[in-house]
Amino acid sequence: MSPAKNQLHLLWRAGFGPDLKSYENFSAKSPAEIFDKMLLSSSTQPEMLKVFSPDSGEFRDVVREGLKGGITTQQRAAFRQKNREGFKELNLLWLDQMVNSDAQLREKMALFWHGHFACRVNNILYQQELLHIIRENALGDFRTLLTAVSRSAAMLAFLNNQQNRKKKPNENFARELMELFTMGRGNYSEIDVKESARAFTGWGFDLQGKFIFRPALHDGGEKIFLGEKGNFTGDDIIRVILEQKKTSFYISKKIASFFAGTELPERIIQPLAEIFYKSKYDIAVLLKSIFTSSWFYEENYSGNRIKSPVEWLVGIRRTLPFSGDQNNWQLIMEKLLGQVLFFPPNVAGWPGGINWIDSSTLMYRLRFPVLLNGGSAELGRPKEDDDVQMGRMEDDSASKSADTGLNKKISLSVNWSEYALQFESVPRNKLMEQIRSAILLTDNQKTDILEKYTDAGSRENYIRTLTIRLMSTPDYQLC
């Protein structure tokens, strides 16, 4: 790839694409310099995105009264509505961070971890805390992140560890910890699952979602796990798992393949895994090894990755200056395209890749740009799939939240005059080349076809209609 393509490739993979206002600032820098700048910009600790205060005690009181049977139907309905509104607000707050924050690398890694530690719990207090854990530790060390996620109320509730107790162990959390979060299938035995489940007995949370260890429910007996013997606790299990090089290999492969857009061969993964292991699971060290490697900029790893719905949505917002209400359409598009934040389809997360595209979702993506031209559209209603809804179609906060306005026409307003200013120094005969190179990594569109359907009546009209045409192509779905 040319240097400009290398830079655009990195900005899309390590972040959510370029903010065109700062595109020129990156054009003269090498990928290594850009990565260092992104890492520095992401080094500050994020503030919690808070839509509900645990100090209010409302969640605690509702749960407590619900357990006693002392809550009325009206109170429960009002609480659920507030919970649903909280999910909408938290979703939009995080999208705003992805769009506007200088910490692009942190937010991109947080989105990765959000899918890796997939968790679907209809409790906004628990989910807001889990999101903060992930954003706070997205670029730190994996041990700290894994431990904090494992102790979160959201994960303990989702994987039933609140019910894991001595003489009646629940294996859900222990199994997924190894299969999906750390080692991968085939690297442990059923005995390891049973023994580790015993070690996690007593791990739970209180009514406010704070981690608690309940000694009376813990199995303090001797366990044998991955060949080691001892009176293990949950923290011991995590320690033993991280001592296994197969854990470093599994996590390195998943992260590197995510950013490469395809499953990578062992010859690439093994050196990364060694670096990650020797760094004591420093996530930033692993990322630098990936993004500064020569293989990452080879042609077969560029423009081969289908943007997830969230990446697609955030990338459009980073490119174009929207005005007016931005909230409703974002929730609708998440739902239509199949990625509603905080509601993964299952514990394995969103499958990604080619799974993002089918006849319906591609149509929605390609029809969307009509809205950018000052038009309106009734994009439709997403397919109901109870496999995806995990049997919760009747009580799905994500569905009920995102469904608001789905049957209404969506209208958007873009400040095209402001957008055109980004290209004011570009000569007219260079506009096509400049705009194409800023928006597309792969470009199979013929210039004469684009010119035919572009309004050349004025400079601003030309920039506007060309941008819309480019965003409505299959190439724009790739990064």
pLDDT average, residue stretch 128-143: 98
Which of 428, 469, 464, 425 has its CA nearest to residue 447?
469
Query: What is the tens place of the pLDDT at every residue in 291-328?
Result: 999 999 999 999 999 999 999 999 999 999 987 666 78
What's the number of CA atoms in the CB half-sphere (13 Å) around residue 92? 17
Identify whether 107 is part of a domain: no
Is residue 384 domain-resident?
A: no
Strand 211-213 to 322-323 pairing: unpaired
Q: Which residues are paired to 322 by β-bridges?
A: 414
C-alpha to C-alpha distance for 92 and 97, rounded to whole angstroms: 9
Domain membership flag for residue 253: yes
Token pair of 108, please? 């991109």
Highest mean pLDDT among 72-76, 349-353, 384-388: 349-353
Report pTM. 0.95
Give the model's pLDDT for residue 26: 75
The rounded distance, in Å, linking the Cα atoms of 194 and 223 is: 9
Structure tokens at 100: 């506007």
Segment 118-135 mean pLDDT:
96
| Per-residue pLDDT at 70 | 80
8 inside domain: yes
What's the DSSP call for residue 129? H
Q: What is the pLDDT of residues 322-341, one digit of tens each?
A: 876 667 889 999 999 999 99
pLDDT tier for residue 443 given thresholds of 50, 70 and 90: confident
Q: Is the pLDDT of residue 233 over 70?
A: yes
pLDDT for res 366: 93
463 pLDDT exceeds 80?
A: yes
Q: Could you tell me the two tokens for 288?
A: 């630098």
Evaluate if residue 375 carries a pLDDT over 80: no
59-68, 374-383, 425-434: segment of lowest average pLDDT: 374-383
- Higher-scoring residue by pLDDT: 428, 397: 428
In this predicted structure, what is the pLDDT of residue 398? 47
CA distance 59 to 79: 9
Per-residue pLDDT, averaged over 345-371, amounts to 94
Average pLDDT over residues 270-279: 98
Q: Is residue 464 part of a domain?
A: yes
**Which among 196, 206, 276 has a CA at the least distance from the CA of 238?**
196
Domain that residue 459 falls in: 416-477
Question: What is the average per-residue pLDDT within 161-169?
Answer: 97
- Does 258 map to a domain? yes
CA 183-185-189 angle, to 5 degrees, is: 90
Count structural domains, the chain.
2
343 near 396, Cβ under 8 Å?
yes
Residue 351 has pLDDT above 80, yes or no: yes
Q: Long-range contacts made by residues 249-252, C-beta under 8 angstroms, separation at least 24?
A: 249/273, 250/182, 250/183, 250/184, 250/187, 251/142, 251/182, 251/276, 251/281, 252/276, 252/286
pLDDT score at 382: 67
Domain boundary among 255, 284, 301: 301
Answer for the pair 340, 310: CB distance below 8 angstroms, yes or no: no
pLDDT band at 444 (very low <50, low <70, confident <90, very high): confident
Mean pLDDT of 438-458: 91
pLDDT at 405 over 60: no
Q: Is the pLDDT of residue 386 over 80?
A: no
Query: What is the mean pLDDT of the segment spanning 22-26?
Result: 72
User: Which residue bears the tokens 């990452």?
Assistant: 296
The distance from CA 437 to its chain's CA centroid, rounded to whole angstroms, is 26
Considering the chain, what percentage of its residues have pLDDT values greater than 90?
Answer: 77
Q: Residue 173 falls within a domain, yes or no?
A: no
Q: Is the pLDDT of residue 430 over 70?
A: yes
**270: in domain:** yes
The yes-or-no verdict on residue 394 having pLDDT over 60 is no
**Predicted pLDDT at 25:** 72
Q: Per-residue b/e over 270-304, b at no fewer than 16 CB within 10 Å?
A: eebbebbbebebbbbbbbbbbbebeebbeeebbbe
The mean pLDDT value of the chain amounts to: 91
Summarize pLDDT for 198-224 with one digit per residue, the tens: 999 999 999 889 999 999 999 999 999
